């Protein structure tokens, strides 16, 4: 039997798990073809436009204990913070004044009623403060269907809930074995969000200990099957104060995890042509211009961190998480310049919603 070559695979419309593994294992020459194809599809289906989302990491208080994450509740070295409404509004205002079009509200996971209500009021406050012009994405973990409904009604319209890994065994290895950390509940969350009417994003970590290329191909097929609208995924980076640090010697070198993350972005762009794909902060943690490289291979979203810089250190999900102040004119000018060099323009003043979401809704009408 003739083994398929890269050109054949790249010109297909349907992809088997083996095809995806082939792409993720591509050698140097093949990777160039993969990246070029992803760039071509990006241009054709979502355009060479990058949308900014001003990221606000408004609290690191978390009820979860994920074994890879620096802000897990079991890490007693972290000093916990929660921004005031005024601090959050100030960050929102930065994005608004700079025409970013959207913000992302992210925090550790909490689902108590005080938290749910606070977010609901905050959403209303943000809209009132910015003349209802900003797109709002939430990244606040697993919640009840009612909570999702309340937050949608209060004006959020996109939600990120990373599945982290779709190999159940691996999922169990990287989470504590209790009923707070169940794969099925997390997956159910994605379905509930879709049912509620959100544009829904998910994502995984790349280069986890024990993870194989087959696992990553399975992750991509999961995204396709779930018909997700957005994706944010990035390299796994060890954090010294986490249980998973014990596996540090098993990990691929950072540069290789970075390369693999770029291949995942490119392969997803080929598999799901019209979704929004974020170029994650974890790419930037490995290479200061890592996010711009992501744009060249299929990503179309960047989330400049607009959290007040004094809190960056306390939101250390992993080692070397960037702590630069991105809320300055110089930083944005530099980012702009690098985005232009990557061949993209910036979609200022618009929400930059997922094209896939529009197509999904029309298809299901």
Between 278 and 346, whose beta carbon lies closer to ligand 5AD? Answer: 278
Between 234 and 290, whose beta carbon lies closer to ligand 5AD? Answer: 234
CA distance 365 to 359: 10
DSSP string, 270-310: HHSTTSEEEE-HHHHHHSTTHHHHHHHTT--EE--B-S-GG
Between 20 and 208, whose beta carbon lies closer to ligand 5AD? Answer: 208
| 21 near ligand 5AD, judged by CB under 6 A | no
Between 92 and 317, whose beta carbon lies closer to ligand 5AD? Answer: 317
Is-contact 283 238, C-beta < 8 A? no
Q: Can you list the positions of beta strands (E) in the chain? A: 49-59, 102-107, 135-139, 158-160, 199-202, 205-206, 230-235, 276-279, 301-302, 345-346
Of 62, 170, 181, residue with least CA distance to 115? 62
Residue nearest to ligand 5AD (CB): 318
Q: State the nearest-atom distance from the C-beta of 28 to ligand 5AD, in Å.
A: 25
Q: Which of residues 186-225 bind ligand 5AD (CB under 6 A)?
A: 205
Binding range to ligand 5AD, per CB under 6 A, among 5-13, 232-240, 251-259, 308-316 = 232-240
Among 67, 152, 217, 237, indicate the residue that binds ligand 5AD (CB under 6 A). 237
| 277 near ligand 5AD, judged by CB under 6 A | no
Dihedral sign for Cα atoms in the order 18, 20, 21, 25: positive
Q: State the nearest-atom distance from the C-beta of 288 to ligand 5AD, in Å.
A: 17
Among 147, 318, 347, 356, indicate the residue that binds ligand 5AD (CB under 6 A). 318
Binding range to ligand 5AD, per CB under 6 A, among 41-49, 234-242, 250-258, 264-272 = 234-242
Number of C-beta neighbours around residue 305 at 10 A:
26
Among 317, 339, 342, 346, indicate the residue that binds ligand 5AD (CB under 6 A). 317
Q: Tokens 């012009």 belong to which residue?
A: 133
Q: State the nearest-atom distance from the C-beta of 234 to ligand 5AD, in Å.
A: 6
Is-contact 335 34, C-beta < 8 A? no
Of 141, 117, 118, residue with least CA distance to 189? 141
DSSP 245: G
Q: For the chain, first and last CA: distance in Å?
A: 43
Q: State the nearest-atom distance from the C-beta of 162 to ligand 5AD, in Å.
A: 4
Between 35 and 68, whose beta carbon lies closer to ligand 5AD? Answer: 68
Among 56, 282, 302, 339, indicate the residue that binds ligand 5AD (CB under 6 A). 282
CA distance 290 to 233: 13
Number of C-beta neighbours around residue 329 at 10 A:
8
Q: Which of residues 119-178 bind ligand 5AD (CB under 6 A)?
A: 162, 164
Q: State the nearest-atom distance from the C-beta of 75 to ligand 5AD, in Å.
A: 11
Q: Tokens 């797109």 belong to which residue?
A: 135
Q: Could you give phi then psi for residue 240, rounded to 5 degrees?
A: -60, -30
3-state secondary structure of 55: strand
Q: State the nearest-atom distance from the C-beta of 305 to ligand 5AD, in Å.
A: 12
Binding range to ligand 5AD, per CB under 6 A, among 11-19, 80-88, 210-218, 235-243 = 235-243
Among 22, 35, 222, 236, indicate the residue that binds ligand 5AD (CB under 6 A). 236
Between 241 and 336, whose beta carbon lies closer to ligand 5AD? Answer: 241
CA distance 102 to 91: 12
Between 69 and 217, whose beta carbon lies closer to ligand 5AD? Answer: 69
DSSP bridge partners of 54: 103
| 251 near ligand 5AD, judged by CB under 6 A | no
Between 239 and 269, whose beta carbon lies closer to ligand 5AD? Answer: 239
Is-contact 148 191, C-beta < 8 A? no
Q: Which stretches of the chain bind ligand 5AD, using CB under 6 A?
A: 68-69, 162, 164, 205, 234, 236-237, 239, 282, 317-318
């Amino acid at each position: 039997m003739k083994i398929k070559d890269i050109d054949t695979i790249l010109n297909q419309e349907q992809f088997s798990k083996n095809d995806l593994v082939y792409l993720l294992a591509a050698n140097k020459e093949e990777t160039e073809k993969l990246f070029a194809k992803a760039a071509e599809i990006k241009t054709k289906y979502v355009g060479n436009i990058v949308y900014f989302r001003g990221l606000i990491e408004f609290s690191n208080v978390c009820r979860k204990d994920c074994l890879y994450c620096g802000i897990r509740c079991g890490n007693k070295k972290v000093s916990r913070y929660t921004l005031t409404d005024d601090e959050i509004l100030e960050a929102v205002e930065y994005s608004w004044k700079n025409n970013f079009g959207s913000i992302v509200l992210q925090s550790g996971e909490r689902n108590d009623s005080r938290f749910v209500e606070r977010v609901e009021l905050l959403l209303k406050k943000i809209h009132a403060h910015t003349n209802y012009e900003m797109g709002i994405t939430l990244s606040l973990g697993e919640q009840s269907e009612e909570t999702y409904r309340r937050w949608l009604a209060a004006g959020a319209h996109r939600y990120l809930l990373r599945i982290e890994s779709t190999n159940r065994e691996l999922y169990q290895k990287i989470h504590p074995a209790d009923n707070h950390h169940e794969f099925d509940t997390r997956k159910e969350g994605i379905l509930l969000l879709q049912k509620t009417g959100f544009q829904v994003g998910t994502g995984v970590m790349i280069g986890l200990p024990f993870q194989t290329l087959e696992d990553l191909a399975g992750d991509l097929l999961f995204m396709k099957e779930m018909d997700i609208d957005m994706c944010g995924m990035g390299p796994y980076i060890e954090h010294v104060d986490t249980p998973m640090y014990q596996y540090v010697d098993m990990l691929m070198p950072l540069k290789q995890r970075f390369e693999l993350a770029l291949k995942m972005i490119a392969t997803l762009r080929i598999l799901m042509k019209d979704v929004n794909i974020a170029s994650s902060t974890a790419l930037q943690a490995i290479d200061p211009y890592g996010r711009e490289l992501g744009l060249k291979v299929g990503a179309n979203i960047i989330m400049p961190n607009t959290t007040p810089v004094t809190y960056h250190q306390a939101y250390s999900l992993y080692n070397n998480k960037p702590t630069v102040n991105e809320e300055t004119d110089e930083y944005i000018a530099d980012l702009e310049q690098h985005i232009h060099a990557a061949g993209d323009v910036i979609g200022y003043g618009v929400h930059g919603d997922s094209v896939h979401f529009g197509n999904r809704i029309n298809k299901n009408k």
